[in-house]
Amino acid sequence: MHDPVFQSFQRLLKKPTSLFLAEDSVDRRKIERVALRRFLAGYPPRKKDDTSIGDSINWEWMISCCKKESANLVIVSRDSDFGCTLNGKSYVNDWLKNEYHSRLSRHHTIQLFDTLADGLRLFGVSAGKEVKKDEQAAALKASDSDTAATAAKVVQRILDAPPGSSREIIESMIKDETGA
């Protein structure tokens, strides 16, 4: 693998530190239990029909690390489970932001960035033009596939709807728009 970012992260992950969640650690079992309760209760971060607790585990581990280190939290993700980006500015999910402040303190900050380049800039690190270009291309590709998948789900729900419900309403709207 020649990707320098990937190689750097691999080196970080191989160093045993207090921020590393080892497979056989007591911390891991505790985090997994708390994350499972969170997931079953339906708390974010998660999508409505999600069947994976991965985001819950990540969230609980991030909170745990921030507590241990008395640190602020920076999340780099385009995953809508953690927040959203509007007009180039990312916003943390309100629930998560409030929870973060209640579990740590109002003095600790939580920030969300949708690109690694933006996240690194916070620490005074400049990502090269190639990294920015690759991130933009990946974001567009993900956005297109997410939009298509969402549209397909909406259309299928409309088609599956019983007569007299949203299907007929939408069909009448289409007829009004097209004049058909």
pTM more than 0.85: no
Q: How confident is the model at residue 177 (pLDDT cuts 50, 70, 90)?
A: very low
Mean pLDDT, the chain, as a whole number? Answer: 79
pLDDT over 90 percentage in the chain:
39
Range of the domain at 132: 128-180
159 within domain boundaries: yes
Helix extents (H) in 123-165: 129-160
148 within domain boundaries: yes
The label of the residue with tokens 């530190």 reads 17
Most confident stretch, 106-115, 142-151, 159-168: 106-115
**b/e 102-116 (16+ beta carbons within 10 angstroms → b):** eebeeeeebbbbbbb
- Provide the pLDDT for residue 113: 93
The label of the residue with tokens 């998560």 reads 96
144 within domain boundaries: yes
The rounded distance, in Å, linking the Cα atoms of 85 and 146 is: 15
Q: What is the mean pLDDT of residues 94-103?
A: 96
Q: How many independent structural domains does the chain possess? A: 1
Whether the per-residue pLDDT at 155 is higher than 80: the answer is no
